[in-house]
Structure 1
Amino acid sequence: MYLPKHFNRPEHAAAIMRAHPLASLITTDPAGFPFVAHLPLRLESSQGGTEVLLGHCARANPLWGYLQERPLALASFMGPQAYMSPKVYADLQRVPTWSYLAVQARVQARLLEGEEAKDALLKQLIADHEPAYAAQWRALPEDYTGRMLGAIVAFELRIESLDCAVKLNQHRPEAHAAMHSLWSQGTAQERSLAGWMETLGMV
């Protein structure tokens, strides 16, 4: 990731990953060509204190085999993003740009064996996204849940390093008030960026 120092904000990586869990998990196929899977990943700390990402894919998806054979992978998370007009500047000699929040994590993959581990992972994801569904899942017939668990492969991605870009034009304070005013009245993503400007103390 290209990451100028004024956009490098690793302290916000966890918040971005949790708020935007749908990641692009990038590995390679047997020919060495990049293979990208889009799937939700759950950030948590392991027993040793190392941060890990937990996820699963369909057993029919070749992703898990690629991770088993080549465990080093890249998980990429995209937070809110939006076009930024040059009209936020008083000086007309400016150009448009794009603002965004993004995290990239270098990870080592490990498959999680057994139905118990897969069931625990699914319950964690349910708790994150639809807690009310937990009771329905527990009440489903065992033969059905067994088939569902058999149809997926779960994995743990141990984070080795990560980069976090918070690109909100921090180095151009003369434009911050106009940016915030413009985004506060815009799309959902623009309003989210305006909120991040407040979080960073830019306005």
Structure 2
Amino acid sequence: MGSDSPRPGHYLSRSLRDEGEALFVPGHFQFRDEAQMLSLVAAYPLAQLFTAEQGRHRVTASPMVALPQRDARGALQFIGHMAGRNPQVSAIQAGARATAVFSGPGAYVSPQWFRVTHTAPTWNYRAVQAHGQLEAITDPEGVREVLRRTIDHVELGAHPDPGATRWTLDDLPRERADFLLDKVTAFRLVITHLEGVNRLNQDKHLDDILGIMAALSESPQPQGAAVAGAMAAELAGALPLPVSA
């Protein structure tokens, strides 16, 4: 490690300052910037979309992707879709406020993995909340574009090699595609604020962090290796920060 790298015995980051508007997140577990949050959204596009209408909460899993362009006011825009017969469609049609939660990798952290600190178990995870206003997309070509963009995005994730053959909406016979598209409701979520939790033991000593990373990389937990990789990336982009209030 260079002279500017985190050193054993140093905290990567620690603060008693709390951040977030609708989300509780200590300052040291914040994402560094919007680009980090959008990267997680792109990698884990299946969102849980929450709405509340007349005292009733509804939640639907929907793959959502960010549009490359912002709206006229500079707001981020996400698009998604759900079955047209889903009762939550009424919230979309009413232009309700909504929250989309994107969950990245997560894993249990055992106290046995700490090399220095005697502490209790914890959980490492990454998640992003997108809060905004729903807008229904009703024209057939607009619905088709939502499906096309969504399919192209997830196919790229499933087949990342440059020479890979990816399935597209055009591979479906037009009559069949029109039949299926008529059964879905497409929507846009215009984002009012984006916030997230990047909880990767930044408040621990570096020697503890390294012990957790080593254990998670060998852990049988389904997302253990992914969390270890996220910790490594966070460590590579961080400098040791002072313990602060």
Query: What TM-score, normalized to structure 1?
Result: 0.90
Confirm whether residue 196 of structure 1 aligns to residue 221 of structure 2: no
Q: How far, CA to CA, are the matches of 1:125 and 1:97 in structure 2?
A: 34
Counterparts of residues 45-194 of structure 1 (less than 5 Å): 45-48=68-71, 49-90=74-115, 93-130=118-155, 132-134=166-168, 137-173=169-205, 174-186=207-219, 187-194=221-228
Q: How far, CA to CA, are the matches of 1:72 and 1:47 in structure 2?
A: 18
Structure 2 residues without counterparts, runs of 5 or longer = 1-22, 157-165, 239-245
Q: How far, CA to CA, are the matches of 2:117 and 2:201 in structure 1?
A: 17
Kindly state the Cα deviation for residue 147 of structure 1 after the two structures are TM-superposed. 1.4
Confirm whether residue 28 of structure 1 aligns to residue 61 of structure 2: no
Kept after mapping to 1: 8 A contact 2:109/2:123: yes
1:4 corresponds to which of 5, 15, 26: 26
Confirm whether residue 19 of structure 1 aligns to residue 43 of structure 2: yes
Equivalent in the alignment of 2:241: none
Q: How far, CA to CA, are the matches of 1:47 and 1:168 in structure 2?
A: 30
3-state SS, counterpart of residue 172 of structure 1: coil
Kindly state the Cα deviation for residue 188 of structure 1 after the two structures are TM-superposed. 4.3
3-state SS, counterpart of residue 223 of structure 2: helix
Q: How many residues align?
A: 200
State the AA in 2 paired with 1:14.
L
3-state SS, counterpart of residue 58 of structure 2: strand
Divergent runs of 4+, >4 A: none
State the AA in 1 paired with 2:101.
S
**Greater helix fraction, Structure 1 or Structure 2:** 1
Q: How far, CA to CA, are the matches of 1:15 and 1:141 in structure 2?
A: 33
RMSD: 1.9
State the AA in 2 paired with 1:41.
M
- Structure 1 window deviating more from structure 2 (63-72 vs 3-12): it is 63-72
Deviations 1:129-151 (A, max 9, x none): 226221xx425443322211111
**Greater strand fraction, Structure 1 or Structure 2:** 1
- Structure 1 window deviating more from structure 2 (112-121 vs 66-75): it is 66-75
Kept after mapping to 1: 8 A contact 2:132/2:192: yes
Structure 1 residues without counterparts, runs of 5 or longer = none
Task: Sort the Cα spacing of 1:74 and 1:142 in 2 relative to 1 into closer, same or farther, 3 A.
Answer: same
Residue identity over aligned pairs, in percent, reads 28
Query: What TM-score, normalized to structure 2?
Result: 0.76
Kept after mapping to 2: 8 A contact 1:10/1:163: no
